[in-house]
């Protein structure tokens, strides 16, 4: 499986911050593996957040894990790596958008 080449062809893998990883697990029950699976399954919806940290553009993805769990992942790109910032269960509006994408 490819790592979202249709969106970011230069990506080769993932980068995780241990603090963010722990927070995603503690608050939302989302593992690093769950977060990565979102980018390997289709459909995958990716968009900019419209927000930027001091130095990086943020994006979000709506997708599903191998087990079918629907997640929203906020991430940034660092060179050839995708760095996950936050991973959590998808909101109701996100589920509607994702459902529409599945129907097409």
pLDDT at 4: 63
pLDDT at 42: 87
Contact between 70 and 98 under an 8 Å Cβ cutoff? The reply is yes
**pLDDT tens-place string over residues 49-89:** 666 666 788 889 999 999 999 999 999 999 999 999 999 99
pLDDT at 50: 61
CB atoms within 10 A of CB 62: 22
**pLDDT tens-place string over residues 7-49:** 778 888 999 999 999 999 999 999 999 999 999 898 899 887 6
């Amino acid at each position: 499986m490819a790592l979202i080449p249709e969106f970011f062809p230069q990506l080769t893998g993932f980068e995780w911050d241990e603090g963010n990883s722990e927070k995603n697990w503690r608050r939302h029950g989302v593992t690093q593996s769950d977060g990565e699976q979102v980018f390997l399954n289709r459909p995958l919806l990716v968009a900019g957040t419209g927000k930027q940290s001091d130095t990086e553009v943020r994006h979000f993805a709506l997708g599903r894990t191998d087990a079918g769990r629907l997640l929203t992942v906020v991430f940034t790109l660092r060179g050839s790596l995708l760095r996950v910032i936050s991973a959590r269960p998808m909101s109701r509006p996100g589920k509607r958008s994702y459902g529409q994408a599945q129907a097409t």
